[in-house]
Amino acid sequence: MLFFQFEGHSHLAAIGNRFVPAALYDTQPEEAGCLPGTRTRVLGKFMKWAKDDPMRLFWLAGLAGTGKTSIAVTLCRMLQDEPGTMLGGSFFCSRTANISELTDARCIIPTLAAFLAESTAEFAAALAAELTADPRATLKPTSNQIDALLQRPLASLASLSCPIVFLIDALDECSDESEVKKLLLAISNLTCDTKVKFIVTSRPETHINANLTSAAGHNTILRLHTIDKAEVTEDIHLYINHAFSKQPLEEAWYTAYDVDSLANHADGLFIFASTVVSYVLDTESVEERMARLQTAAFAMKDSKVATGPLDAIYEFVLTRASNTAKVEPAELKATQQALACILAARVPLSIIVLAEILERSSGLLRASLRRLRSIVHVPDDLNQPELRIVHASFGDYLFERAAAVLRISGALGDELLTRGCLRIMGKRLHFNVSQSRSSHEANPGIRPETVTPSLEYACLQWIYHIAGLPEPWAMDAVIELLLRSKFLFWLEVMSVLRHVGRAAAMLIFAATTVRCQKKLVIVSHPLCRFVQNSSHASCVMPTRSWLHHGRR
């Protein structure tokens, strides 16, 4: 539930789990956004459109790595600060953040509505009235959400003279194409007296391109990859020079030629420039930086495997990190497994949790990942759950275009996480795992040490990784054995985590997923019957402290 506070009153808006704070622009990294002095023409075009153009929607299309998200973050800041415009809300979709809600198009309209409600009392009151009349409005399909959450409440702002601009970034990273299509159609059909506009950024994916270009007469379209390359190269040149020049080293370690060479090799891709800069600066040694500059430039010229400059730098960083010419196959395999898990994780993992899932030393795991810091965000704290790849294109490269020795299968991460989750649950689930003094008392207010972050991840996510396997039924025997011996202990942990309602939903999902995956063979499997019976029982069966916590 989300509360909106204004004028001394509190209105309850049943936005619930569909509000995603991590999707807001001001939660993006501080360094996100365009370097001052770059992208000036593109940003100016947007601001002119926001104030003067009658078109409802502006689509910024661009290939991976062309800087769409940096532009989007800067635009949100400009719209927020510009007196003649109002930022209605923002939603930054992301596959790299490992937060499933950031790829769920059904969360976009509720999050935009929540942002606007916190900005204007009139809209908040109107939204609260809609949600009082229909508390389940946020749970409806995307095409039905917009009426109750935006269109009707926006009537309260009809007297507002400045345009209200909503921004949705990286829409192509949403997982359900059908929901994306519904969202775009709903935006196109939005009718209200308030001056409302939408900015959408994405790759030119087929399902998005078809919906937006079919209404080209009603939309404004800018394709980043069609902008004059000389202009983009100059902006990249400014970015690289700024990053290199602010390093506090007295001895000169780069030349103007180095900056020119890297900017030209970038071929219009800002992600290429940021990856190279991160790689080169990931050492304090002047000699090492100079060597990295030279080897990076050489790799860009001579890479025969890569299909473009971005693939070339990914291949270069990976091969340098693993030294595939000399490395033991086991070491390369371990690095691939870690990357596969980071890409497949449903929420960001810490090094400690990933190490336990993979049964590896956390120190060795961190050391191997730190060699990839230009393409993988590796937190300094072993317990900080912030492992993620820097850009979604790296995952695409690993799955589809990497050299055979580097490529990984799309199912590898789910397979490793499945086995890790089941192993951790089998090992750590036990009688009185919540360390309660009595079954008649509520669970301890402080989470017990027995419910570790790795056990939390395993208990909350195991079924979703099983569903991601090509043959999920292959795990039936393992799951059946685990649930028969540890079922009540798993429910006890779910109660401690305040996710009892989710436990029931997971069991039902397990039964229906197995049935859908192998319709004719496994419907009568004992596991199906057990899961179905358990899921019904779990709705009413009290375990330790269940009734004290209620359902969430």
Which of 15-24, 94-103, 217-226, 421-430 has the least mean pLDDT?
217-226
Whether residue 133 is predicted with pLDDT greater than 70 in this model: the reply is yes
pLDDT for position 327 = 56
Which pLDDT band, with edges at 50, 70 and 90, does 150 fall under? very high
pLDDT for position 301 = 65
What is the 3 state secondary structure string of 92-129?
A: ECCCCCCCHHHHCHHHHHHHHHHHHHHHCHHHHHHHHH
pLDDT for position 100 = 87
* Superfamily designation of domain 2-226: P-loop containing nucleotide triphosphate hydrolases (3.40.50.300)
Please answer whether residues 154 and 123 qualify as being in contact, where contact means their C-beta atoms are separated by less than 8 angstroms: yes
Please answer whether residues 313 and 272 qualify as being in contact, where contact means their C-beta atoms are separated by less than 8 angstroms: yes
Amino acid making up residue 343: L
Q: What is the pLDDT of residues 453-476, one digit of tens each?
A: 999 999 999 999 998 888 887 887
Whether residue 78 is predicted with pLDDT greater than 80 in this model: the reply is yes
Whether residue 5 is predicted with pLDDT greater than 80 in this model: the reply is no
Calculate mean pLDDT across residues 81-92.
Answer: 94
State CA 359 to chain mean position distance: 26
Q: What is the pLDDT of residues 360-405, one digit of tens each?
A: 999 999 988 988 988 999 998 999 999 999 888 899 999 998 888 8
pLDDT for position 519 = 41
Whether residue 543 is predicted with pLDDT greater than 60 in this model: the reply is no
Which residues have CB under 8 Å from 50's CB, separation 6+?
Answer: 79, 85, 163, 165, 197
What mean pLDDT is reported for the chain? Answer: 83
CA-CA distance, 15 to 510, in Å (whole number)? 27
Higher pLDDT: 1 or 503? It is 503
Domain at 329-401: CATH code: 1.10.10
State CA 278 to chain mean position distance: 21
CA-CA distance, 237 to 93, in Å (whole number)? 28
Whether residue 540 is predicted with pLDDT greater than 50 in this model: the reply is no
Higher pLDDT: 332 or 185? It is 185
Which pLDDT band, with edges at 50, 70 and 90, does 14 fall under? low
pLDDT for position 283 = 84
pLDDT for position 216 = 53
Q: Residue 325 belongs to what H/E stretch?
A: none
31 in helix, strand or coil?
coil
Whether residue 62 is predicted with pLDDT greater than 50 in this model: the reply is yes
pLDDT for position 151 = 93
Percent of the chain with pLDDT over 90: 44
DSSP state string for 195-233? -EEEEEEE---HHHHHHHHTTGGGEEEEEGGGS-HHHHH
Whether residue 478 is predicted with pLDDT greater than 60 in this model: the reply is yes
Which of 9-18, 22-31, 295-304 has the least mean pLDDT?
9-18
Please give the backbone phi and psi of residue 18, each rounded to the nearest 5 degrees, phi first.
Answer: -85, -10
Q: Which residue has the tokens 């043959």?
A: 471
Which pLDDT band, with edges at 50, 70 and 90, does 1 fall under? very low
pLDDT for position 523 = 36
Smallest CA-to-CA distance from 16 within 145, 120, 144 is with 145
Domain boundaries, the chain: 2-226, 229-302, 329-401, 412-549
Which pLDDT band, with edges at 50, 70 and 90, does 547 fall under? very low
pLDDT for position 539 = 40
Q: What is the pLDDT of residues 500-534, one digit of tens each?
A: 888 888 877 766 655 444 443 333 344 445 444 54
Q: What is the pLDDT of residues 312-350, one digit of tens each?
A: 888 888 877 766 555 567 778 889 999 999 999 999 999
Please answer whether residues 34 and 360 qualify as being in contact, where contact means their C-beta atoms are separated by less than 8 angstroms: no
Calculate mean pLDDT across residues 126-139.
Answer: 90
Whether residue 305 is predicted with pLDDT greater than 50 in this model: the reply is no
Q: What is the pLDDT of residues 249-283, one digit of tens each?
A: 666 889 999 999 889 888 888 988 998 999 899 88
pLDDT for position 15 = 66
